Amino acid sequence: MINLIGGVPLYVLEFGDELVYFTPYTITLFLLALTFTVLVLISRPEKQVDIAFGGDAYRTKEISVSEMRFRRFMAIACGLATMGAMVTGDIFNFTLFTAMVGITNVGIVAAVKSLHVQDAAYQYGLVALAATVPLFAGAAIYAAVTGSLSMIELMKGTLPAVPLIAKGMLMLGVIGEGMAPFYAAKAEMFRAPGAPYVIMCSLSSLLLFLRVVEIVMLG
Amino acid sequence: MIIRRISHILCNYDNLTRLFAGACLLLFIAGILLLPLPYSEKQLYPKTFDRNSSLDPYDRGGPPFTQVTIVSQYPENSPTAGLVTSYLTPFSLFLSQVTLHLGTTIVSHPGGIIDEILYNTRGLDTVVEATILFIAFAIASYIYRKG
């Protein structure tokens, strides 16, 4: 029996054992990630202006082209990883894409010359690093209990039921990549100049969360 | 009032690692309490260990250039799986004859063992893993150069 919130897969792309499938739900998320990645690719970044309170003084922050270029590269890599996570049909592959989103998020702000932002990015990096433990542990329990990692097989309902703890671990792993209540560091990372690149951090973890909700409903 | 206090703790990113560690701890304790978990005997990728084989644990068996059976979820998607399991370059062959640990060199040794499950049926994983590594190198080298 196929029982999922995303609907029946409309198209399945075969990569060996790792199927990539598109349901109305995952297509929506995929298109959102794709649109934003294209926006990052073609748009010109903002320039931040600091205005001193109670006076006329203001200063524009100068950001070098090479730094912006690096940040755009990281934002695009983050977009690609998010797109991969949206459509993959394999639990382990999903965890890998999630880990990749975490590291590219650090990369987006790593080059910013602001102590505050770098402190926040460091704390975020630590949490994202630690989050891979429950993330991959969740995938390992999926494999041990059901004997398979394919979401298509989980959908069919013929495999043993997935224990709640595996779903919880997968969920905690994704939440650690920057969802509430572990959002504080990410919110501080937004102080970095260079929208729309920094917005990619937020969008990627939001989309990841929406996807993991679908995944834990399977099996 | 209590919400204000909680948000005050949550908004400080210095507490973040401790909070996350606490959340992990709670979940892991719940996990230990929920033991034992059932183990499916019908595993997709069965593994047999032959400690005497120098290719262990990547020994998928079979003579060179003869297709051996590799268990996979969708065999129709990997028609060539199992063809190159025991192909070794002359150097790898030499290593496999003098040491019992060639299986540990799978990633650091070009032309070594090809794990059919890892590289053929689960090829996308291998690509993403390598990409994560390269992204980490890119960040580190950028910071090193500019820092």
Q: A64 lies in a domain?
A: yes
* pLDDT tens digit sequence for A90-125: 899 999 999 999 999 988 888 787 888 888 888 888
| pLDDT number for residue B109 | 60
Please check whether residue B103 is in contact with residue B58, taking contact to mean a CB–CB distance below 8 angstroms.
yes
The more confidently predicted of residues B105 and B5 is B5
> Under an 8 A CB cutoff, do B24 and A70 touch?
no
- Can you tell me the mean pLDDT for A41-55? 79
CB pairs A-B closer than 8 Å: 151
Query: Has residue A2 been placed in a domain?
Result: no
Distance CA A133, CA B80 (A): 34
d(CA B16, nearest CA chain A) in Å:
6
**What amino acid occupies position B81?**
A
To the nearest whole number, what is the mean pLDDT of chain B?
A: 80
Per-residue confidence band for B135, with pLDDT thresholds at 50, 70 and 90:
very high
Number of domains in chain A: 1
A157: left (phi over 0), alpha (psi -120 to 50) or beta: left
Task: Select the residue of A16, A182, A185 nearest B77 (Cβ to Cβ).
Answer: A16
| pLDDT-derived band at A45, boundaries 50, 70, 90 | confident
CA distance B95 to chain A (A): 30
Write the CB contacts of A30 (distance below 8 Å, at least 6 apart in sequence): A22, A83, A86, A87
Does B121 contact chain A (CB < 8 Å)? yes
Residues A108/A201, Cβ–Cβ less than 8 Å:
yes
Please list every residue in chain B whose beta carbon sits closer than 8 Å to the beta carbon of residue A63: none
In chain A, residues with a C-beta closer than 8 Å to the C-beta of B77 are 14-17
* Span A54-63, average pLDDT: 77
Look at residue B46 and tell me whether its pLDDT is greater than 90. Answer: no
Share of chain A above pLDDT 90, in %: 32
Question: Given CB atoms, is B26 within the 8 Å cutoff of chain A?
Answer: no
Smallest Cβ–Cβ distance between A146 and the set B17, B24, B40 belongs to B40
Neighbours of A144 (CB within 10 A): 15
CA dist A32 and A204 (Å) reads: 10
Q: Is residue A48 part of a domain?
A: yes
pLDDT confidence of B25, banded at 50, 70, 90?
very high
Contact A166, A145 (CB under 8 A): yes
Task: Report if residue A54 sits inside a domain.
Answer: yes
For A106-115, how does the pLDDT look when each residue is reduced to its tens digit (9 = 90+)?
A: 888 887 878 8
What are the b/e assignments for B83-116, b being 16+ CB within 10 Å? bbbbebeeebbebbeeeeebbebbeeeeebbbbb
Please tell me which of the candidates A134, A147, A182 has its beta carbon nearest to residue B19. Answer: A182
Distance CA A2, CA A10 (A): 13
Phi first, then psi, for residue B83 (nearest 5°) are -85, -30
Average pLDDT of B102-117? 65
Helices (H) and strands (E) in chain B, counts: 5, 0
CA distance A177 to A186: 9
Whole-angstrom distance, CA of residue A102 vs CA of residue A124: 9
**Terminal-to-terminal C-alpha distance of chain B:** 44
Task: Taking residues A156-172, report their average pLDDT.
Answer: 88
Say what the pLDDT of residue A138 is.
92
> pLDDT digit string (tens) for A13-44?
888 888 888 888 889 999 999 999 999 888 88
Partner-chain residue, chosen from B17, B138, B143, that has the shortest CB–CB distance to A123: B17
Q: Cβ–Cβ of B128/A84 closer than 8 Å?
A: yes
Q: What is the pLDDT of residue B86?
A: 66
> What is the model's pLDDT at position A85?
92
pLDDT recorded at residue B24: 92
Task: Specify the pLDDT at position A1.
Answer: 41
ipTM above 0.90, yes or no: no
Residue A115 forms part of a structural domain: yes
Res. B107: pLDDT tops 60: no
Domain extent, residue A83, equals 11-217
Closest A-chain CA to B136: A103
Q: What is the pLDDT of residues B55-91, one digit of tens each?
A: 777 777 667 677 777 777 888 887 877 777 666 777 7
The band of A201, judged by pLDDT with boundaries at 50, 70 and 90, is confident
B37 reaches A (C-beta below 8 A):
yes
Query: Average pLDDT in the B3-30 region?
Result: 88
Whether pLDDT at A4 is above 90: no
How far apart (Å, rounded) are the C-alpha atoms in residues A7 and A28? 12
Q: Residue B41: is it exposed, middle or buried by C-beta count within 10 angstroms (0-12/13-18/19+)?
A: exposed
Indicate whether A78 pLDDT > 90: yes
